[in-house]
Structure 1
């Protein structure tokens, strides 16, 4: 069996993996991008909620809100052909059980310069005034993940130093004499490199266990997002009710409908991905994936009565990943880790799409030949 050599191998062709591969290929590195799915951006990057964060969603993490807002215009400029802004996005604050008051939300917007204004009287009638204290129109678009996938594929194909292999399931990885050997698809192909980027999101610890590396402290969560058809009067709106066990219902352009998610009902199961022995199959069984749409709809309609008329189309299920240290706060950092025991391996856990600019900064500061001291970096 022949072995092909690359300067860098990137495992995982979601949004973050594809961008990392493209960034390195533009630095005259010969890059191999491996994806086990039939196409790029085929899992979490496609099925997660389509929000392009502008900072409103993080009133309890000023750093995350600030970075999202700072990156928003840049993201809209870079990916403007992949976003949908043809709806009125409303953030509503309940009178009870919200961790953030409407006053605090407005103060956050004022402090970091987020555009907002109160909805007009007619629009406020969409809400139950006994439950909703105040509602704001904001500037926050939705990403069209189908267009983003096509755009990313076009960008990758234009790079002569980048090779993309889909349907590439990593079987084994071995480190010897400062080099990493990888084999895919039952040993059908083998590759050698001096640097591997592990950008497999919820599968990140599976890769680390192949080489006996300490797993990252990550919580995995089986999450359901319902695809729904909105009643006609509500189709031009997106709703985010926060901050607590509430919901979001906003356009999902790639699916041609709206998505409905709920802080309480979207998570079906969770587990500590750093602990060995978890039977992931039992967590993602058919029983675990029985839809909770009726619970989401009924609770959402308490705050926006018109949502009682949403039509259920189907559900998507995806395993999400979040650093355990951020499980109970509002921060959504990326993790960019050069592993001390195996500095040839860099693990990157992505977060919000706009965090790609923080990843670019980390890549700029990284010695691709890993001659510098290894380090672990967490960037909000």
Structure 2
């Protein structure tokens, strides 16, 4: 049986090679595969869809978070800020600045007042500039800040990983069978030393007994065209909305209240919910979201024209807090990854390395 003992050490001298199956070619699956490949491991990346980033990673707001979304979670702010700096170092060509990116705190409806929000961000050493809210068409009582969060360039990221992982990619190849043995795991009948699940519960076999505390939200994101070519507006902290640059001069509109269409027990149930959406239900959702926006920001209807929408499934962990942090769990030779934001891919990769070392019982740790 071709386990670790039968494999030669990689040229870099980092120790024995592990043959690893990674499931899910989104941001996390691609980054972790690239990291393990750089360590010298024999990585095989399985993706059920015909292309990488075909799931939630390719259908998102594309925001590279710095922490401004999370005034009520210090650990999430810290992870976001550290991950932002690391992302800019490792993938400098995969994001870009947004010219005018504003966070606003409504006086009456936010869970925090503007002064407290500002103090939280100052204490977290996040960079921002306080601006005149009325200059953006917001109420004078709204506190507003210009921030340097960036836009993820998803198309460029797909091209990057598609090239760097070309030999490892197994596209249009769902993992239909999985079995743990004494010396490894059988994935579609092929022997591996370990399996890393980066599907956030979308792969049903990976979620059993591992992510029992997950739930799934079928989500709709609206797409608009506007003369405001590079503008973002996000209201915090509460059940508000966000307008953010997307691609090709378009913007997305999301809403804490209206973007999630339901709360489901499984990824498949969420997909079925999306399949039931009709033109009429989408139109009702659009009108509800636009009404919410105009309540706080009246220039919206003058500047933005609805052109499209896309759906996705978001997996979330049941929690009483506002935290969206990295979690990596191991069961036998299966390592499962869960996280909330793209820029925590580095924390996840470090945790996966530790768990991989524990799985194979050899020194596979490689310092970053």
The alignment's TM-score, normalised by the length of structure 2, stands at: 0.86
Does the CA contact (< 8 Å) of 2:56 and 2:313 recur in 1? yes
Aligned residue number for residue 4 of structure 2: none
Aligned residue number for residue 283 of structure 1: 273
Deviation at 1:106, TM superposition (A): 0.7
Counterparts of 1:68 and 1:36, CA distance in 2: 29
Aligned residue number for residue 144 of structure 1: 153
- The reply to whether residue 222 of structure 1 matches residue 218 of structure 2 is yes
What do the CA deviations read for 1:100-125 (whole angstroms, capped 9, x no partner)? 211111111211111112214xx623
Counterparts of 1:199 and 1:70, CA distance in 2: 21
- Pick closer, same or farther for the CA change 1:129–1:281 going to 2, 3 Å: closer
Counterparts of 2:71 and 2:94, CA distance in 1: 27
Which moved further from structure 2: 111-120 or 312-321? 111-120
Secondary structure at 1:267's aligned position in 2? Answer: coil
Deviation at 1:83, TM superposition (A): 1.3
- The reply to whether residue 337 of structure 1 matches residue 323 of structure 2 is no
Does the CA contact (< 8 Å) of 1:126 and 1:305 recur in 2? no
Aligned residue number for residue 355 of structure 1: 344
What do the CA deviations read for 1:329-357 (whole angstroms, capped 9, x no partner)? 22101220011xxx110111132111011
Aligned residues: 342
- Pick closer, same or farther for the CA change 1:148–1:12 going to 2, 3 Å: same
Does the CA contact (< 8 Å) of 1:99 and 1:244 recur in 2? yes
Does the CA contact (< 8 Å) of 2:218 and 2:313 recur in 1? yes
Q: How does 1:220-259 map to 2 (within 5 A)?
A: 220-230=216-226, 232=227, 234-253=228-247, 256-259=249-252
Aligned residue number for residue 58 of structure 2: 46
- Pick closer, same or farther for the CA change 1:143–1:215 going to 2, 3 Å: closer
Higher strand share: 1
Aligned residue number for residue 124 of structure 1: 134
Aligned residue number for residue 193 of structure 1: 192
- Pick closer, same or farther for the CA change 1:288–1:99 going to 2, 3 Å: farther
Does the CA contact (< 8 Å) of 2:219 and 2:311 recur in 1? yes
The alignment's TM-score, normalised by the length of structure 1, stands at: 0.84
Aligned residue number for residue 56 of structure 1: 68
Does the CA contact (< 8 Å) of 1:298 and 1:308 recur in 2? no
**Which consecutive residues of structure 2, in runs of 5 or more, have no partner in the other structure?**
1-6, 8-17, 363-368
Which moved further from structure 2: 359-368 or 219-228? 359-368
Aligned with residue 69 of structure 1, among 81, 105, 116:
81
Does the CA contact (< 8 Å) of 1:335 and 1:349 recur in 2? yes
